[in-house]
């Protein structure tokens, strides 16, 4: 199959490289010439484990090429995927679809043969209808099918998620050609027995939002249980295990923490709320999830101040991890942003170390001193706070850290340090969802 991928952001670049690795002929298109030049010379625009090798080997094999020219990119393509950004629109939280529609127009104008246009970007229900309307209006002469194929990959595990998905969802309006093209594109996955689920286009669009909103709800539920555990003297990790062993609930996405962040859950939950309101069917449970999660991030700042005895003025707080989760340099909606703000508002000085996120984080938090590793961060600090559970923080020498600190206060917002080990190092430990 000849595939064109419009947009070399997270989803576009990973999907394009993986499709090429399946043996398809892939052209990735991006307007940003600097970005294309960087990728071609082996520098990835994002940090994602394994991506540079995957792009490099497929480019070397001639299956993966890059261009800034949409018209050249779409020539002869069986399917053109739209994988451009759909950020929250400033002011009202609706998904901003201007990039999707602009891409659709350019693709359609450049087409010289029937083709399938696939939206991979996360787009609200009805976006496929509008893309189809654009296609009919601009090129009534061509048979252009519009398909929805939402992406479920996670940052930091994107290549594995793409190649071994739990399912692939494809929404069509019933066109046999579209179904045949999509089946052919995903045929290599049948080896992994990944279910290829065909459904209506609007349904596929909604599945993406429903999945992310459900996962965000699961996290927010366990976070509220964590607060309750702290109040009543229970252990949230055991509550999570105790409910997660029930197959109907499942054990995943039940890790209590500082609240979800990233480029997807915050934006997608908000967009689903807006869609519900627009159709007069409010999704109240998700409205609440959005509010609870927003408040939680700043509340983590207050939790740290409390661990310091209630007064953070003139104290130094060392943060380990800034990105919204490990194995990424993505700082979008990271809990660390609200935590830093709350600590600075309380008069604390903040130092921080993150393995990949400091370059992106530094301009977002100009008052924070970025340092070279966890031990340097702890030096002279009054509190050490684990914000993001990078592997490198799991095997730290707690005794060495404690010995260099002004006050031995450890706040573990991801519950990775065993209480006994922290106590042995002399730390006063605060965790999420338990009193010890």
Judged by CB under 6 A, the chain residues 211 through 230 that form the site for ligand UGA are 212, 215, 219
What is the smallest separation between the CB atom of 340 and ligand UGA, expressed in angstroms?
A: 16
Give CA–CA dist 185/239, Å, rounded: 42
Contact (CB, 8 A) for 20 and 58:
yes
What's the chain's length in residues?
436
What is the separation of C-alpha 92 from the centre of its chain, rounded to a whole number of angstroms?
21
69 is in an annotated binding site: no
Among 99, 101, 152, 375, binds ligand UGA (CB under 6 A): 152
Among 12, 73, 165, 257, binds ligand UGA (CB under 6 A): 257
89 binds ligand UGA (CB under 6 A): no
153 binds ligand UGA (CB under 6 A): yes
Give CA–CA dist 416/320, Å, rounded: 12
151 binds ligand UGA (CB under 6 A): yes
What is the smallest separation between the CB atom of 386 and ligand UGA, expressed in angstroms?
A: 12
Give CA–CA dist 187/153, Å, rounded: 18
Could you identify the residue written with the tokens 């859950």? 265
CB under 6 A: which stretch of 93-101, 164-172, 258-266, 357-365 binds ligand UGA? 258-266
User: DSSP states of 260-281 as a string?
Assistant: --SSSHHHHHHHHHHHHHHTT-
Among 209, 265, 353, 393, binds ligand UGA (CB under 6 A): 265
Helix (H, G, I), strand (E, B) or coil at 108: helix
Give CA–CA dist 28/80, Å, rounded: 10
| Residues sharing a CB contact under 8 Å with residue 346, sequence separation 6 or more, in sequence order | 301, 305, 312, 313
Q: Site map for ligand UGA, 173-212, x if CB under 6 A?
A: ---------------------------------------x
Tokens of 1: 């199959």
154 is in an annotated binding site: yes
63 binds ligand UGA (CB under 6 A): no
Its sign, for the CA torsion 278, 280, 281, 285, is positive
Nearer to ligand UGA, 15 or 212 (CB): 212
Nearest residue to ligand UGA on Cβ basis: 264
What is the smallest separation between the CB atom of 268 and ligand UGA, expressed in angstroms?
A: 6
**Dihedral pair phi/psi, residue 379, rounded to 5°:** -50, 110
What is the smallest separation between the CB atom of 431 and ligand UGA, expressed in angstroms?
A: 14
256 is in an annotated binding site: yes
255 binds ligand UGA (CB under 6 A): yes
332 is in an annotated binding site: yes
Angle, helices 201-232 vs 284-307, to 10°: value is: 40
Q: Site map for ligand UGA, 322-361, x if CB under 6 A?
A: --xx------------------------------------
> Where is 84: in which H helix or E strand?
none
Helix (H, G, I), strand (E, B) or coil at 251: coil
316 is in an annotated binding site: no
Beta-strand ranges (E) seen in 15-138 are 25-29, 64-67, 79-82, 115-119
105 is in an annotated binding site: no
What is the smallest separation between the CB atom of 127 and ligand UGA, expressed in angstroms?
A: 15
Asked about 264 being catalytic, the answer comes back as yes
253 binds ligand UGA (CB under 6 A): yes
Give CA–CA dist 241/339, Å, rounded: 28
What is the smallest separation between the CB atom of 221 and ligand UGA, expressed in angstroms?
A: 10
Nearer to ligand UGA, 73 or 321 (CB): 321
Contact (CB, 8 A) for 156 and 355:
no
Nearer to ligand UGA, 78 or 268 (CB): 268
Count the neighbouring beta carbons within 10 Å of the beta carbon of residue 210. Answer: 15
The site for ligand UGA (CB under 6 A) is made up of 122, 151-155, 212, 215, 219, 253-255, 257, 260-262, 264-265, 268, 324-325
Specify binding-site residues for NAD(+). 30, 35, 86, 122, 155, 267, 332
Question: What are the catalytic residues?
Answer: 264
């Amino acid at each position: 199959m000849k595939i064109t991928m419009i947009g070399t952001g997270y989803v576009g670049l990973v999907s394009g490289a993986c499709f090429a690795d399946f043996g398809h002929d892939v052209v990735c298109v991006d307007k940003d010439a600097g970005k294309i030049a960087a990728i071609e010379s082996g520098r990835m625009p994002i940090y994602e484990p394994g991506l540079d090798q995957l792009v490099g080997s497929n480019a070397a094999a001639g299956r993966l090429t890059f261009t800034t020219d949409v018209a050249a990119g779409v020539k002869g393509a069986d399917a053109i995927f739209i994988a451009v950004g759909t950020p929250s629109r400033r002011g009202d939280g609706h998904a901003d679809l201007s990039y999707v529609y602009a891409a659709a127009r350019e693709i359609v104008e450049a087409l010289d043969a029937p083709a399938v246009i696939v939206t991979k970007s996360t787009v609200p229900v009805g976006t496929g209808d509008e893309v189809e309307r654009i296609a009919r209006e601009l090129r009534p002469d061509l048979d252009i099918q519009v398909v929805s194929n939402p992406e479920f990959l996670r940052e930091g595990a994107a290549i594995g998620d793409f190649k071994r998905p739990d399912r692939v969802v494809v929404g069509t309006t019933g066109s046999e050609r579209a179904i045949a093209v999509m089946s052919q594109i995903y045929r290599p996955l049948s080896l992994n027995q990944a279910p290829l689920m065909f459904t209506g286009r609007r349904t596929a669009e909604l599945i993406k939002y429903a999945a992310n909103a459900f996962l965000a709800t699961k996290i927010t539920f366990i976070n509220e249980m964590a607060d309750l555990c702290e109040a009543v003297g229970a252990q949230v990790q055991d509550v999570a295990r105790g409910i997660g062993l029930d197959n109907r609930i499942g054990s995943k996405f039940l890790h209590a923490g500082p609240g979800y962040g990233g480029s997807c859950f915050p934006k997608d939950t908000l967009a689903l709320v807006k869609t519900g309101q627009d159709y007069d069917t409010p999704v109240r449970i998700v409205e609440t999830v959005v509010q609870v999660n927003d408040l939680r991030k700043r509340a983590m700042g207050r939790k740290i101040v409390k661990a310091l005895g209630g007064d953070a003025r003139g104290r130094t707080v060392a943060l380990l991890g800034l990105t919204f989760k490990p194995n990424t340099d993505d700082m979008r909606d990271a809990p660390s942003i609200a935590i830093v703000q709350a600590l600075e508002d309380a008069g604390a000085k903040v130092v921080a170390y993150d393995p990949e996120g400091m370059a992106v984080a530094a301009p977002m938090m100009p008052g924070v001193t970025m340092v070279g590793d966890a031990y340097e961060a702890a030096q002279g600090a009054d509190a050490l706070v684990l914000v993001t559970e990078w592997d490198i923080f799991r095997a730290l020498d707690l005794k060495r850290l404690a010995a260099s600190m002004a006050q031995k206060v450890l706040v573990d917002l991801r519950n990775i340090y065993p209480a006994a080990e922290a106590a042995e190092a002399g730390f006063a430990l605060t965790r999420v969802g338990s009193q010890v």
